[in-house]
Amino acid sequence: MAGLNKVTVEDIDVKGKKVLVRVDFNVPMKDGVITNDNRIQAALPTINKLVENGAKVVLCSHLGKPKNGPEEKFSLKAAADRLAELVSAKVTFANDDTVVGDNAKAAVAAMNDGEIVVLQNTRFRGAEETKNGEEFAKELADLVDDEVFVMDAFGSAHRAHASTAGVTKFVKETAVGYLMQKEIKYLGNAVEVPERPFVAILGGAKVADKLNVISNLLEKCDTLIIGGGMAYTFIKAQGGNIGKSLVDDEKLDYCKEMLAKAESLGKKILLPVDTTVAAEFPNPIDAEIAVENVPAGEIPADKMGLDIGTETQAIFAEAVKSAKTVVWNGPMGVFENPTLAKGTIAVAKALAETDATTIIGGGDSAAAVMQLGFADKMSHISTGGGASLEYLEGKVLPGVAVIADKA
């Protein structure tokens, strides 16, 4: 899948045409205010390119998970307002609960070349969006006279929704935007043609979420580092005592298989040798907490592991030093708590100090790297948690597959 040969925004003539762009404006909000606008910023290169080339740009995105149709707190108005501050073009927000309604139609009809209309949250159409409803897909295409669709929402590319995949059936031209290109380049090359040594780091809570990723990466990488909550299932599979730590008992045999697979392929799996333990999970999550450091397979029965220990931090950092490509998905512990963020900080610091190509696979690891101030030291931070995981699994993403290939 590396270097996917898709038509890009560079390849199409958009002057005077209406262009529907699927962006990822699924930004974190608190009390109606955007707390992090990274995803809007990430969409700017594609939006600006289309504006400069004289397109009439219509943007669509989802935000959050509205359960019962339209909900004010999931309106895209705040994202449209923020976009208006970031671009020089005129931005109009079309506030229709049906997404494609009278406001949207009027706003698009009134557009001049180089202007932008932002549609309301695509998820306001519920199952019509998420189940790839043909009628909604056609309404979106009709809004831009079935002319051009640009896919630039990598974070939603693993979903075959009306606004990510279905719409492509009804338009004359399709292309990927700059953000999609960048994601495909970094993640695709890392997995298919990495510069070696290639080190993959997996963390986070559940083994189940990363079953296929572990198996696929073992075939591609030289060393696989496993930290975070998922490490305890591996440690238990090796006969260790893990106390009250998070464990997925149904996956013990799978962990044994993966350890055997690594051995048969001549690959290294690095697991924690020590762990930071506490009597219980912090509540609230950032509360002060008393901890101690114990060997990873000797966690007392009344304690739980919540971060990798100091010796493990040094071993993991050392493994990263000699790497030429590093992919990291999932924190090493409860990074939202200052006492339990040390393992994640140690790994982030090791990545920041290496000359390797460093790719952060979205989700919590991206949040951790940004929160800890290491974002500008990474080669690439993926905007898609689930999408980047599926990409690392070797899956074809529906939102990528539907875009036209270059002739």
Instruction: State the pLDDT at residue 76.
Output: 97
Structure token digits, residue 396: 């074809």
* CA dist., res. 264 & res. 106, Å (int): 63
Instruction: State the pLDDT at residue 2.
Output: 43
Residues 6+ away with beta carbon under 8 Å from 374? 348, 349, 351, 352
Instruction: State the pLDDT at residue 4.
Output: 63
In terms of Cβ atoms closer than 10 Å to its own Cβ (0-12, 13-18, 19+), residue 216 is middle
Number of other CB atoms surrounding residue 69 within 10 Å: 11
* CA dist., res. 213 & res. 218, Å (int): 8
Domain boundaries, the chain: 9-182, 194-392
Kindly report the CATH number that applies to the domain delimited by 194-392.
3.40.50.1260
Q: What is the three-class DSSP state of 92?
A: strand
Instruction: State pTM to two decimals.
Output: 0.85
Determine if residue 228 is left, alpha or beta; phi over 0 gives left, psi from -120 to 50 gives alpha, anything else beta.
Answer: left
pLDDT in tens, 88-102: 999 999 999 999 999
Q: What is the three-class DSSP state of 182?
A: helix
**Residues annotated as catalytic (active site), given as ranges:** 39, 206, 363, 386
In terms of Cβ atoms closer than 10 Å to its own Cβ (0-12, 13-18, 19+), residue 54 is middle
To the nearest 10°, the Cα dihedral for 66, 147, 24, 105? -40
Peptide bond into 284 cis (omega under 30): yes
Mean pLDDT across the chain, nearest whole number?
94
Q: Are the folds of 9-182 and 194-392 the same?
A: yes
- In which residue ranges of the chain is pLDDT below 50? 1-3
The answer to whether 163 and 192 have CB atoms below 8 angstroms apart is no
The answer to whether 65 and 53 have CB atoms below 8 angstroms apart is no
pLDDT in tens, 169-218: 999 999 999 999 999 888 888 888 899 999 999 998 877 888 889 999 99
Helix axes 178-192, 211-220, angle to 10 degrees: 60
Residues 6+ away with beta carbon under 8 Å from 348? 368, 369, 372, 374
Instruction: Tell whether domain 9-182 is in CATH 3.40.50.1260.
Output: yes
* CA dist., res. 141 & res. 120, Å (int): 15
Residue with tokens 């990466």: 217
